[in-house]
Amino acid sequence: TVTVVDDIIPTVSCPGNQDRCADETVSDTYTATGGEFDYTAADDNCTVVSVDYVLTGATNGTGSGTLDGIAFNSGVTTVTWTAVDQSTNSSIPCSFTVNVVPSPDPNIIGNTVVVGGSTEVYQTTYVPGNVYAWSAIGGTVIVNPSPNDYICEVIWDAYHPSPKVIVTETNTTTGCQFTDELDVTINPIQLQGTVKYHNNSHTPMNNVTVRLKDGASVIATTTTDPTGYFSFASVAAGNYSIEVETVKAWGGGNSTDALAIQRTAIAPVSPFPWWIPDLFIDNVGDVNESGNLSSLDALLVKQRTVHLISSFPAGEWAFWKDDGDNINGVNFINTSPYVAYMPYTHSSPVTLDIRAMCYGDVNGSYLPPSTKSMLAVEGEGIMEVFGNKEFTLPVQIMGTSDPEIGAMSVFLNYDDLKVRVKALNSEIPGLIHNIENGWINVAWSDLQPLNLSSNRTIFTLVLEALTPITDAEQLFMLSGETQFADMNCNVLHDVFLNIDRVKAELKVSGPDAEYSLNCYPNPVKEMLNIAYTLPESGNVRISVVNSLGVHVNDLVNEAQEAGQYLMQFDPGHLGLGTGVYYCRMMVDGESSSFNEIVRFIYKQ
């Protein structure tokens, strides 16, 4: 047996003087080495004493605690701790001075009982130079920018079991910080939901008034926000009615919807996948409030499209309680064109989503609020006409690859100071129109498609120029609401209209009048208008000559009185092919003669 004695003097690592924040919790590790060790111990180092250390010299007296969790008070504190040599049981002291710096003292102020989904403001006392970091459990925090970061907003969730607001205040000079927490109770919203348009985008309906009523008495009123959201924080159990009202304008209904109503009325099952939910869209299509879809509903939608009527018997807006499956729901009952209600029983917190549609807009094409965009109208030819004299202007469909049209809604705007629209003529059965306030509105749909493979003129306008039009102008603008659809109510996007541009001169008969000859449109596809003026009576001969100078036919060969004349000539009736032709006019008047040739191009 050999006894080994270690004569190394035990030492400890004692830290130097330091700064600490008041109420700061620290976990420092100090070690002791040397001394006679008992090798049966768990380690070879001296044990750091973690209890019964003494704080001396503090301004508020002495204290005790554990080395691994010192809570410093303000002032200058001397910390003493002791290590014990396991072999000799001797104590090795260590002392160091701590300068305790005051920590921030935030105190959150704000509502501790809130309603789910509400926004609440919280704040603490502002200390210049300090910064604040906010967070929340059960809510989303919006912090004001510095130096106003001592205030925040919390958007509370609908519910959370243990919500709270947390702020950490930091002194940017000393680095000391402290955290305060405020426990909150969230009461669930009793009644909430959204109002959105029933289209592909589910457009939020803002500024819709939602009322909770007990009989005729209004219990509470709110208005939907930009997302369409509404809520009632407190609702007692009982029987009520929910009333909605909007001031948004009617829109969306057109001939495409009319065709869909016609087809659905005769089909046992709707042929359109978007005709869901059945109960709601059936109600939206039943504009005459008969209880069934019919061709009369379709006619009323077309009449409303062209402004021949200004309202529907059913109202302007329809509303539907959406149960989330697009089938099971409840139609609201209309009490006026823009107001509807439904019975409601409240027993527990509930989310009630509402869908809205304009009557007649069964395909949900409306995007409220609506603004009219204007498009330029194509014009291949130039028509030269006389002012104060009627002339006709064909309107043609161009560009479509599908010759069959099931529905069309056309909205043309014109300058009624330059031209008067006297009539609209069409050979299409069932086409309806309205001319008012500088607008030409046209609507048509039918179960039999319109085949445009041979004749693409959909209607002809009878016009009169009111002022001289020196430069050839396109007198019409097309509203972006103009729409063409096929028989399955699919919108055709490759369709545009062609209307010739117009150049107008004001000519009068009498001493100041002159001979004239004009042919339009040029080039011509269907009907050539031939306008001419005779300042005096005479024998008139108007003939057509081909490009080789060969006479084709006489159009006029008779004596005529002085005045302005307009006649129409269809080159196809003479079997003419595509090419260049000439219209020749010869007049033997009472005191003068006239000979004029106008070149025109015919395209089959």
HEC string for 210-278? EEEEECCEEEEEEECCCCCEEEECCCCCEEEEEEEECCCCCCCCCHHHHHHHHHHHHCCCCCCCCCCCH
C-alpha 302, offset from chain centre: 26
Spatial contact of 222 and 178, defined as CB atoms under 8 Å apart: no
Count of CB atoms situated within 10 Å of the CB of 490: 13
Q: Cβ distance 95 to 67 under 8 Å?
A: no
Write down the pLDDT at residue 10. Answer: 58
Is residue 144 within 8 A of residue 218, CB to CB? The reply is no
Question: How many residues are present in the chain?
Answer: 604
Question: Could you give the CA distance from residue 122 to residue 448 in angstroms, rounded to a whole number?
Answer: 67
- Lay out the sheet containing 538-546: strands in order across: 551-560, 538-546, 579-589, 593-602
Greatest distance between any 2 Cα atoms in the chain: 161
Residue 416: CA atoms inside 13 Å, Cβ hemisphere, count?
10
- In SS3 terms, 528-541 reads as EEEEEEECCCEEEE
Cα distance between residue 245 and residue 205, in whole Å: 11
Whether 495 and 399 have beta carbons less than 8 Å apart is answered as: yes
Structure tokens of 458? 């959909």
3-state SS, residue 296: helix
Q: Cβ distance 257 to 442 under 8 Å?
A: no
Q: In this structure, what is the dihedral angle of CA atoms 576, 582, 588, 589, given to the nearest 10 degrees? A: 110
* 452, 494 contact by CB (below 8 A): no
Q: Where are the beta strands (DSSP E) in 404-438?
A: 404-414, 419-425, 432-436
Question: 10-residue block means of pLDDT along the chain (604 residues)?
Answer: 64 69 58 39 34 30 32 56 61 70 88 89 94 95 90 91 95 89 91 92 94 95 94 91 94 94 81 73 93 94 95 95 72 94 92 94 84 75 73 85 86 88 92 94 94 82 83 85 91 88 65 75 87 90 87 92 90 87 89 85 85
What distance in Å separates the CA atoms of residue 583 and residue 597, rounded to the nearest whole number? 6
Token pair of 454 as six digits: 């041979």
Eight-class DSSP state of 566: E
What is the Cα–Cα distance from 356 to 246, expressed in whole angstroms? Answer: 10
CA distance 309 to 595: 53
- Give how far the C-alpha of residue 420 lies from the chain's centroid of Cα atoms, to the nearest Å: 38
Pairing mode, strands 18-21 and 91-101: parallel
Residue 285 CA to chain centroid, in angstroms?
Answer: 24
Q: What is the pTM of this model?
A: 0.61
User: Can you say whether the dihedral through the CA atoms of 545, 550, 551, 553 is positive or negative?
Assistant: negative
Output b/e per residue, 318-354; b: 16+ Cβ within 10 A: bbbbbeeeeeebebbebeeebbbbbebebeeeeebbb
What is the DSSP code (8-state) at residue 381?
A: S
pLDDT for the residue 374: 76
Would you call 115 helix, strand, or coil by DSSP? strand
- Contact (CB, 8 A) for 159 and 116: yes
User: Is the CB of residue 503 less than 8 Å from the CB of residue 363?
Assistant: no
Query: 490 to each of 68, 218, 377, how far by Cα in Å?
Result: 76, 44, 22
> Nearest 5 degrees, angle CA 242-CA 247-CA 248?
115
Bridge partner residues of 185 (DSSP):
113
CA distance 144 to 152: 6
CA distance 390 to 393: 10
| Cβ neighbours, 10 Å, residue 462 | 14
CA distance 134 to 139: 11
Which pLDDT score, from 0 to 100, does residue 211 have?
A: 97
Distance CA 388, CA 108 (A): 82
Distances in Å between the alpha carbon of 146 and those of 128, 177, 427? 11, 17, 73
Bond preceding residue 521 cis, omega within 30 of 0: yes
Quick one: tokens of 164?
Answer: 């709270």
CA distance 238 to 347: 7
If one counts every other C-beta atom within 10 angstroms of the C-beta of residue 567, the result is 12
What pLDDT is stored for residue 316 in this prediction?
Answer: 95
**Alpha-carbon span 185 to 151, nearest angstrom:** 20
CB 540 within 8 A of CB 558: yes
Helix (H, G, I), strand (E, B) or coil at 596: strand
Helix or strand run (H / E) with residue 295:
helix 295-305
- The per-residue pLDDT for 242 is 96
Residue keyed to tokens 């926004």? 119
Work out whether strand 185-187 and strand 113-115 pair parallel, antiparallel, or are unpaired: parallel
Q: How far apart are the first and last CA of the chain?
A: 129
